[in-house]
Amino acid sequence: MALLFIVTGLGVGVVSFFQSTGQQDTNSTTNQTTSPKLRGTKLTGFEPVAKVDSLQIIDLTSGTGAEVKPGAKITAQYTGAVASTGTIFESSIDSGQPITDYPLSNLIEGWQQGLVGMKVNGQRRLLIPAAQAYGTNSPSPDIPPNSDLVFDVILLDTK
């Protein structure tokens, strides 16, 4: 009886070990196959520009849903880069967390103006002059003061 108990316990332990090892291998494989972080890389399909004189709005994909109205709240994925280099300083895609139910009034002026009229499920590129972005008040060491910026925004919802 004791021998049966020891063999059964050992068997369960071995099975648990292999399952946990297999699970770790699966996670390792998954982590290796997920897309790399965007921060510090170049923005795809964007050719750096020396100067952005005025807000430029480029629809990359037209949306099919509700339209953003002035003063709305939005849920969106975004990727931001410095326009002069094309280097990404931040992307919500890296964290997997979009900005959610965020009031336009709390965003930089370039977003407040540039997202109005955009439709849900659309993708829009905004080229924003420094004065409509952060100006001299850079929020990050990755954004030099007085930088013109470019954002790719995928609109998930608006209210």
How does pLDDT run across 115-153, given as a tens digit for each residue? 999 999 999 999 999 999 999 999 999 999 999 999 999
Contact by Cβ (8 Å): 133, 55: no
Note whether 3 and 62 are same-domain residues: no
Q: For the chain, give percent helix, strand, coil, nearest 5.
A: 30, 30, 40
The dihedrals phi and psi of 5, each to the nearest 5 degrees, come to -60, -45
Question: Tens of pLDDT along 15-36?
Answer: 333 333 333 333 333 333 345 6
Range of the domain at 18: 1-34
SS3 107: coil
Residue 127 lies in a domain: yes
Q: Would you state the structure tokens that stand for residue 79, as one six-digit string? A: 């990727």
CB contact at 8 A, 124 and 58? yes
Confidence (pTM) = 0.77
Count of structural domains within the chain: 2
Same-domain status, 80 and 143:
yes
Q: Which pair of tokens denotes residue 32?
A: 């290796």
Do 25 and 65 share a structural domain? no
